[in-house]
């Protein structure tokens, strides 16, 4: 199948499919004309890639994990426990990033709370801060 058909089948944009190929995640056959020729199994690979991207994994990590995935008829599924350390590492990375975001939100909430207690009657005080010097 050609790239447009794979795009329609998987919901991934043509641009994304080309990016996956650039990253070594997809390896379509090439016709003598230079056109990419995708196989049915590539659709499952694309769905697996999109699942792992949605889980917060980057393409470098996905590249490492793809060999440990098999097509279950619907999508790619893990086939070996050897990928567990990588998955746990990525979960820890995402947990740390989430904690950092929550901390930043808490600091913003504190600023909002402090600002909301100020007297809004004289906005010229704010003009002095934002005016060019």
Q: pLDDT by residue (tens digit) across 22-78?
A: 999 999 999 999 889 999 989 989 988 998 999 999 999 999 888 888 877 766 778
Angstrom CA distances, 61 to 53, 55, 56, 131, 132, stand at 10, 11, 10, 47, 46
In terms of C-beta density within 10 A (0-12 exposed, 13-18 middle, 19 or more buried), how is residue 71 classed? middle
- pLDDT confidence of residue 127: 65
Tell me, rounded to whole angstroms, the distance of Cα 125 from its chain centroid: 43
Contact between residue 7 and residue 17 where contact means Cβ atoms under 8 Å apart: yes
Phi then psi dihedrals of residue 37, to 5 deg: -125, 115
């Amino acid at each position: 199948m050609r790239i447009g058909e794979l795009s329609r089948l998987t919901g991934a944009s043509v641009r994304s499919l080309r990016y996956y190929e650039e990253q070594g995640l997809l390896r379509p056959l090439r016709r003598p004309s230079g056109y990419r020729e995708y196989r049915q199994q590539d659709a499952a690979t694309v769905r697996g890639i999109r699942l792992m991207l949605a889980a917060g994994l980057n393409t470098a990590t996905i590249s490492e994990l793809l060999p440990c995935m098999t097509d279950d008829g619907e999508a790619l599924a893990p086939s070996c426990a050897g990928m567990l350390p990588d998955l746990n590492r990525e979960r820890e990375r995402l947990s740390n990033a989430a904690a950092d975001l929550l901390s930043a939100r808490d600091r913003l909430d504190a600023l909002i709370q402090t600002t909301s207690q100020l007297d809004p009657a004289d906005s010229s005080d704010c003009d002095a801060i934002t005016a060019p010097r």
